[in-house]
Structure 1
Amino acid sequence: MTVFILVAGAFTGPHVWRDTAARLTAEGAEVHTVALTGLGGPPADGGAAVDLETHVADVLAVIDPVIDATAEPGGKVVLVGHDYGIHPVLGAADRRARSIGRIVYLDSGLPQDGVPALAAVPDQLLREEVAERATGSGDGVMGGELPPPARDEWPRWGSTEGLSEAALDGLTALAAPQPLGTLLQPLRLTGAVAEVPATGVLCARNGPGVEMLQIMVDVGTPALRALADARVTFFELPTGHWPMLSCPDALAGTLIEAASGGGHLLTPADAGHTPAHLRPFLLDVPERPRERTGNTDLYLPDGPGPHPAVVFVHGGPVPAEAMPTPRDWPAPANYPILAPLPAWGLTGSRFHPVRALSRAGDLPVVLVRVGRESAEIAATVEEFVAEAARCGANLEIIDVPEGRHGFETLDPADGAREAVHRAVGAVLARLKG
């Protein structure tokens, strides 16, 4: 029998797993939901401050009796950590590595030794608020609590897409304050947990899906290299950050598959294949000499000027260690992400293309729109197009119904070639006009 031990994220407790746990039990699994101290569990003894080690001990208190009762150590115990919950899960698994069959990272970060959970909070302003609250708590760094989000504040912690109004009401009503020490105390790992098989369940409405993760591995993101391992599998759910509330049956089915080792495997960056971003560009572009100054490459046309200028700005994020750098990639991008995605943590930043439209005046804008775009990026495009219509922006759209994000390198067929020709032609026509 597979034994699932489920650990919820920030501000939440065992109640969020109710429907998922019921489905797992119906499928013949044994399920334990961990009540973390202060988050659905009893308060700390003697009013002591609650920190990450407190929650690691809470998880161990559930694991150890299960291990004692399991005839096959390490074979069937599956630890599931959602959001913040992955931190105490890893802390506990590191101390019982030989007894754990698999760890499931449920829409969580990749915690590292010596790094506190606060570093995984996507919203920079939230991180600053937590740090300020800890400094001013008067109880020391590990004292104090962070109040739970109000109903309209949950998106700062993750996408609420897929949640019904009732589910969002319940999430808010049952939320508990998060002890500051659980976010501020560094995670301590010996390295033993690295040997435990793992599965990542990606919520594609809150961050990258499997395909985008593969692209990030290909680019050479150092923290992701270890994910291209035969012991690491991935699943993707088309929902926001709380799948146990938005699609509990689908999540339960995914966890059952994960327990048996199922899921998608990533290809290592050095596996001998040419990653999409380094494949030859689908248009035959003549070589031109360039002048390289700082972070800018300048390609000058023949003949006397003045000449119009085209500025290419690459996408990202791209790790600083990636080689070659984007300026030497053969493929220029021709479609953007038009608003910050939920997991980016860019609240309060200057990255707001939609807002800029109202000040664009008659400036021509050419937008390539792909029909198979990921839902979270497509939403930013729809918002941009709607705002362009509202303020009368000079917008021309090049539609590629069968295209997906990266189509000119992932699917360099005739349709992609024609779409890029049309997009480049539209820009050149605007420049000549």
Structure 2
Amino acid sequence: MRPFVLPVAEVRRERAGAIDIYRPQEINGEPEPIIVFVPGGPLPPDLQAMPRDWPVFVGYGSLAAAHGAVGITVEHHLYSLDDYAAAADEVAAAVDTARNLPGVGPDRVALWFFSGGGLLSADWLRMPPSWLRCVAASYPVLAPLPGWRVDARFDPVAALASATGLPILLTRVGRERPEIAATVAAFSAAATRHRAELEVIDVPDAHHAFDTIDDTDASRTAISRAMSWVTSTLSA
């Protein structure tokens, strides 16, 4: 429950089932792009507050709204390695719900994954729909970690071979856990090999979950750059 390190005016959210919705305060009459935030995991089953209620995701949702997009935070139930398939279905259902909201542009969608939620990006990288404009990932796990027995489907490194033409943003931290950093390095190498459209934001002195742990100007700059990249790509 640490605070979001980037000060942002909190936007009043709407709750619709498994999603929270953050809408821009200024409405220009045009369909608004959508940014879907997918929290990490596996999560402890005894959490008293789900990630969409954490200050960091309230912050990201509000920041998306401040940039003229509809921010969507997803509640999935990724409590164990066995839950990845069910969580993937929950994310897909949440995206469908978001795309059918009034006032949104269903053909301008970004998905933004965090931490262990990074494995859930594999489906979208493997078969990106035409309305998916970009994928972002912050301090992500991008391949199953040593000892993780998960379906081979959840391997973003392998999925990259099919992601031709899909813009991808990776926010990479310099003080990442070694086993996670190895998956990020493998993903970056695969992106080069497959000529993927990968943009990287490096935060050399930052840790995993830097957006709540490292209250620094470098953290705030990285978050702002990432949001600007996503919203610019949605508008391109």
TM (norm. structure 2) is 0.62
CA pair 345-429 structure 1, distance change in 2 beyond 3 A: same
Q: Is the contact made by 2:143 and 2:155 (CA closer than 8 Å) also made in structure 1?
A: yes
Q: Which has the higher contact order (CA 8 A, sep 6+)?
A: 2
Q: Which residue of 2 aligns with 1:336?
A: 140
Question: Alignment partner for residue 315 of structure 1, among 31, 34, 40?
Answer: 40
Using the TM superposition, give the Cα deviation of residue 399 of structure 1 relative to its aligned residue in structure 2, in angstroms. Answer: 0.7
Alpha-carbon separation, structure 2, partners of 1:295 and 1:321: 18
Runs of 4+ in structure 1 displaced over 6 angstroms?
none
Question: Alignment partner for residue 19 of structure 2, among 296, 306, 316?
Answer: 296
- SS in structure 2 at match of 1:403: strand
Q: Which residue of 1 aligns with 2:7?
A: 284
Question: Alignment partner for residue 387 of structure 1, among 179, 182, 190?
Answer: 190
- SS in structure 1 at match of 2:32: coil
Alignment of 1:42-53 (within 5 A): none
Q: What CA deviation, in whole Å up to 9, does each residue of 1:91-112 have, x standing for no partner?
A: xxxxxxxxxxxxxxxxxxxxxx
Please state which structure has a larger fraction of its residues in strand. 2
Letter of the 1:341 partner, please give it: L
Using the TM superposition, give the Cα deviation of residue 344 of structure 1 relative to its aligned residue in structure 2, in angstroms. Answer: 2.2
Using the TM superposition, give the Cα deviation of residue 384 of structure 1 relative to its aligned residue in structure 2, in angstroms. Answer: 0.4
Q: What CA deviation, in whole Å up to 9, does each residue of 1:251-274 have, x standing for no partner?
A: xxxxxxxxxxxxxxxxxxxxxxxx
Q: Which protein shows a greater Rg?
A: 1
Q: Is the contact made by 2:142 and 2:156 (CA closer than 8 Å) also made in structure 1?
A: yes
Structure 2: state its 5+ residue gaps: 58-113, 115-137
Alpha-carbon separation, structure 2, partners of 1:291 and 1:350: 33
Using the TM superposition, give the Cα deviation of residue 319 of structure 1 relative to its aligned residue in structure 2, in angstroms. Answer: 2.3
Alpha-carbon separation, structure 1, partners of 2:7 and 2:204: 23
Question: Alignment partner for residue 162 of structure 2, among 359, 365, 388?
Answer: 359
What count of residue pairs does the alignment treat as equivalent? Answer: 155
Using the TM superposition, give the Cα deviation of residue 351 of structure 1 relative to its aligned residue in structure 2, in angstroms. Answer: 0.9
CA RMSD after TM alignment? 1.5
Letter of the 2:171 partner, please give it: V
Q: Which residue of 2 aligns with 1:413?
A: 216
Alignment of 1:18-29 (within 5 A): none
Moved more, 288-297 or 311-320: 288-297
Structure 1: state its 5+ residue gaps: 1-277
Using the TM superposition, give the Cα deviation of residue 323 of structure 1 relative to its aligned residue in structure 2, in angstroms. Answer: 1.2
TM (norm. structure 1) is 0.34
Q: Is the contact made by 2:5 and 2:214 (CA closer than 8 Å) also made in structure 1?
A: no
Letter of the 1:338 partner, please give it: L
Identity of aligned residues (%): 50
- SS in structure 1 at match of 2:228: helix
Alpha-carbon separation, structure 1, partners of 2:230 and 2:176: 22
- SS in structure 2 at match of 1:402: strand
